[in-house]
Structure 1
Amino acid sequence: MVEASRPRRDPKGSKSVSKRALIVRGGWEGHKPVESTDLFIPFLEAQGYDIRIEGSPAVYADAGAMTETDVIVQSVTMSTIERAELEGLRAAVAAGTGLTGWHGGIADSFRASSDYLQLVGGQFATHPSKHPDEVAGAASDNFLRYTVEMTDVGREHPITHGIPDFELQTEQYWVLTDDLNDVLATTTHPAPPWHPWHRPVVSPVVWTRHWGRGRIAVATPGHSPEVLQNEHVRTIVERGILWVTRTASAS
């Protein structure tokens, strides 16, 4: 279902809005893309963004709209993307439009598109489950207690500076990535005997990426609005939006 665009402007009309944010949401409803992205609309408004909301990636094929967009906040889990849409997205980011998102809305989008996966620099592989005796056939089967650990790079980066290592009880994403990423935080998957891997595996939790003149920021926590309201997760997402937003040098 495609959602109509809804431009938002300064409610007082007292100043022009210089930054334009595009929220693209949809895909699998289990990640609550509408409720999750709605959490950040007040933040965007308070920061002076003019907000457009779309219910599919079709807008990516609109070159005029993309040229005017300073930051894309994407929450589209799985789903598909047409060639013209993907080409428009890649071109916009290369020209300076920022791209950010969380969890499956960016790291598990458009699985069939290798060019999209190259753009964002990571693809969800799995979220390991609890002990088989605890598995009950519910979403919570994959909710584990795990630690998000800041890297040396992350302790200095504007997105994660001052945020301590912290714990979450939610899906612990195992993500396939490449060397172009600057990893700001990681998590370590243990090797319990009921899973087939044989040693702990470190996976990125937060990373940034430069693509042409554009910036990308990805955070893997965010399975539900409740996770996004964790103070550290929310701070990472909000700072990520600001950090990827088109800069004057990218205009």
Structure 2
Amino acid sequence: MPNDQQPPAIDTSVAHSARVWNYWLGGKDHYAADQVAGDAYREKFPLIEPMARESRDFLVRAVTYLTRDAGVRQFLDVGAGLPTANNTHQVVQRIAPESRVVYVDHDRLVLLHVESMGESTSEGSMDYVLTDMRDTDSVVEGAAKTLDFSQPIGLVINDVLGHIVDWDDALSLVRRLVDRLPSGSYLSLSHATADNETHRRAQDEYNNSGAIPYIFREPEVTRAFFDGLELVDPGFVSWPNWRPEPTTGKLTVRAGWGGVARKP
């Protein structure tokens, strides 16, 4: 974690998007206002909690594949948010203890909860870069203190690009980051869409509440994030259909799509 940053004071009386998501995932880093907002959303769209879990499960399966099968030992997790169970470094270091992981987020709130992520293994390392993910120079400069950008890196962008309202900005962000990676690196990316019209209305109400908005995009659009890369099987598919395991939930068959691709 950057040692020159001081944890901020926080207003626990106002719901915060990252804490609401943490609540849906069953985490502990949330307050009464976040529970109220999360419950209100769930009342309108009961599948929001399974959706949050299936998004997280996709992340776990993707980084497991990258570590176990693709041999990646460096990870850059952009837009990491608040910690919960099975954070990226915990998953990959269980497989390869020497792995190095850097998390990136712009929200100073996360500094209050970094210790909840658990320590790195002694063989590997874990660090945190506090910067806006759109500032790709700062992302790479901060990550390069821990990661070797001459060796393959697994870039993880899990279900956060909907917070960038402008499509061209979101697409440009991904391409700029991928351009900074060496050949043999991988991109693991997911993005949510509306499961149905009820889901869309619930999100619209949430976006209008003053919380950080999230913009749904259709998979026919978000597939463009992987242009120029080599998608690994089974391609860009709904979360439950990406290399499912016997315990993989399949309640939200359309609410989110993801894929993993190699940079030639």
* Superposition TM-score, scaled by structure 2 size: 0.32
Considering fraction of residues, name the structure with more strand: 1
Considering fraction of residues, name the structure with more helix: 2
